[in-house]
Amino acid sequence: MSPDARGFKPLSTVLSRRCGSDPALQQLLEILADTCINVAERLQSSAFRRNTTIAGSQNSNGDLQKPLDLEADAIFETHLALLPNVAALVSEERDDVHWLKEPSAGDFIVCFDPLDGSSNIDVGMVVGSIFSVFRLEEDHQPYDLLSVLSGQNQIAAGYALYGPVTELVLGMGDWIDGYCYDPASGTFYRTHPDMTIATDAKEVAINAAREALWPSPIAQFIRDCFTPKLSGGRGANMRWTASMVADVHRILLRGGVFIYPEDREQNARLRLVYEANPIAFLMRSAGARATNGRDDILSLPVNDLHQKVGVVLGACDAVTYIQTQYEKA
């Protein structure tokens, strides 16, 4: 029986209601959904093209780029260039903003990590795409583009998860929905309306190999998390997939907290514009929080397209507790 016959609504039906007064944004979100379907198809065929070796190039962060990183980036550009009102792209795989047209008021800017977790590709683990949407308010130039890209200015965000099922999560601030892709019809159907996060943190996502570099508030919180309840701790379990989208999706569905802190040497790993900000936007819509340990991610100034940031996100109680520990440190 088809998903719609079982009561699941197709993406276009949901978005016509969610974006009813903004057909241009609805069209953009539908194009982004198609983009993610195309990336998923490319991934599924990649093993047979021996395409998972390193391309030999590096992105602006110094990360080695795999051919699929570049192919996913090209798929995003090809799809977004179809629309008359997407002025610019900001991608993890491109050093500078890529202008598609002379910008004017009402145009969109789309920021994206086309393939997040790509170091997982060679070993068949889950990867994802992350995107964030802004609308240009004025048509004067030159833009202070970095101030436009502040997290608070996002009008929509989403991610795709390329796992056993291709899943898509979209939000516009006052709502967040989850979809699953039905290959038979080539359509996303909404399976998780109005996602809300569990209030406690039974699972912690952190790369424990970096323990020696954790700042004290994180080290103390993690010690407490992994201390059994019978010994007065939180008795939490640990999960780490090395793919932010996969960890975030699990946390949205069954609660928990994701931590990749700025370490004691002030090094951070995750990128603000096209990883932390879109995920923080979605977390807020689901009743969760996202900080850099001290300050809300969405309030952080954007000083560089590829700036890195510490991230603590998920269940409000855990994120707020960690914030108070930073304040005391």
Q: Catalytic residues, which ones?
A: 63, 69, 92-93, 113, 115-116, 275
Do 146 and 304 form a contact (C-beta atoms < 8 A)?
Answer: yes
SS3 category, 47: helix
114 binds ligand AFP (CB under 6 A): no
Going residue by residue from 147 to 186, which x/- string records binding to ligand AFP, judged by CB under 6 A?
----------------------------------------
Four-point Cα dihedral 141, 146, 148, 151, nearest 10: 170
φ/ψ (deg, to 5) at 82: -70, -20
d(CA 226, CA 152): 34
Do 181 and 188 form a contact (C-beta atoms < 8 A)?
Answer: yes
User: By CB under 6 A, how many residues form the interface with ligand AFP?
Assistant: 12
Which residues on neighbouring strands pair with residue 140, listed in sequence order? none
Q: Of 80, 86, 244, 302, which one interacts with ligand AFP (CB under 6 A)?
A: 244
269 binds ligand AFP (CB under 6 A): yes
State the minimum distance, in angstroms, from the CB of residue 113 to ligand AFP.
7
124: left (phi over 0), alpha (psi -120 to 50) or beta: left
User: Residue-wise over 124-154: b if at least 16 C-beta within 10 A, else e?
Assistant: eebbbbbbbbbbbeeeeeebebeebbbbebb
Q: DSSP assignment of 185-201, as one string?
A: TTEEEEEESS----SS-
Q: Of 117, 255, 278, 310, which one interacts with ligand AFP (CB under 6 A)?
A: 117
Q: Which one of 74-82, 142-150, 152-160, 242-250 is the stretch in contact with ligand AFP (CB under 6 A)?
A: 242-250
Q: Which is nearer to ligand AFP, 55 or 155 (CB)?
A: 55
d(CA 282, CA 259): 16
Q: Which is nearer to ligand AFP, 107 or 275 (CB)?
A: 275
Q: Of 116, 177, 203, 262, which one interacts with ligand AFP (CB under 6 A)?
A: 116
State the minimum distance, in angstroms, from the CB of residue 200 to ligand AFP.
22
118 binds ligand AFP (CB under 6 A): yes
Which residues, in sequence order, are CB contacts of 194 under 8 Å at separation 6+? Answer: 175, 176, 177
239 binds ligand AFP (CB under 6 A): no
SS3 category, 133: strand
263 binds ligand AFP (CB under 6 A): no
State the minimum distance, in angstroms, from the CB of residue 123 to ligand AFP.
11
Q: Which one of 114-122, 133-141, 160-168, 227-235 is the stretch in contact with ligand AFP (CB under 6 A)?
A: 114-122
Q: Which is nearer to ligand AFP, 73 or 116 (CB)?
A: 116
Which residues, in sequence order, are CB contacts of 253 under 8 Å at separation 6+? Answer: 178, 192, 195
* Binding residues for ligand AFP restricted to 47-76, rule: CB under 6 A: 63
Q: Which is nearer to ligand AFP, 10 or 293 (CB)?
A: 293
SS3 category, 3: coil
Q: Which is nearer to ligand AFP, 100 or 282 (CB)?
A: 282
4 binds ligand AFP (CB under 6 A): no
286 binds ligand AFP (CB under 6 A): no
Residue 231 DSSP symbol: G
The contact set with ligand AFP (CB under 6 A) reads 63, 116-119, 207, 242-244, 260, 269-270
